[in-house]
Amino acid sequence: TSPRLLLRDEPLAALDHARKQEILPYLERLHDELDIPVLYVSHAPDEVARLADHIVVMEGGRALATGPLTDTLARLDLPIKLGEDAGVVLDAVVAERDAEWHLAHMEFAGGRLWVRDHGLPVGH
């Protein structure tokens, strides 16, 4: 069949962190290859930050905000809880990968940064 929309309702909720890290690249690739909208429901901001282009923040069954991922996650007035981890979302491209150290060199408008390699190809 040729679906026009995919609904993923907490697909990784029952998995530990290591298994999530194994499966996330497949979810990213599926989204890229199918080129159809994906509605991804999750309480895990790290998953949403990795997979989403657009986000709807909900609380108590109501939509509090909607918009592009980077703009919405940057809002301080929203109840987005990232746990003990601080974070930032950058629009970046993989410039190179270091297989020995499992790092990816990311380029973005403000410069360059080495981060943990998630297996994305150079140029992605």
Counting runs of H as helices and runs of E as strands, what totals does the chain give?
3, 7
Taking the CB of residue 12, how many other CB atoms lie within 10 A of it?
A: 19
Q: Give all strands (DSSP E) within the chain, no chain letters.
A: 6-9, 38-41, 54-59, 62-68, 92-98, 103-108, 111-116
The answer to whether 45 and 78 are in contact (CB under 8 A) is: no
Domains and CATH numbers, the chain: 6-74 (3.40.50.300), 90-123 (no CATH)
The stretch 5-31 carries a mean pLDDT of: 89
pTM, 2 dp: 0.64
**Residue pLDDT, tens place only, 59-118:** 889 998 999 988 888 787 876 655 555 566 778 999 999 999 999 999 999 899 999 888
**Residue pLDDT, tens place only, 35-62:** 888 899 998 888 888 889 899 988 889 9
pLDDT score of 95: 96
Q: How confident is the model at residue 11 (pLDDT cuts 50, 70, 90)?
A: very high
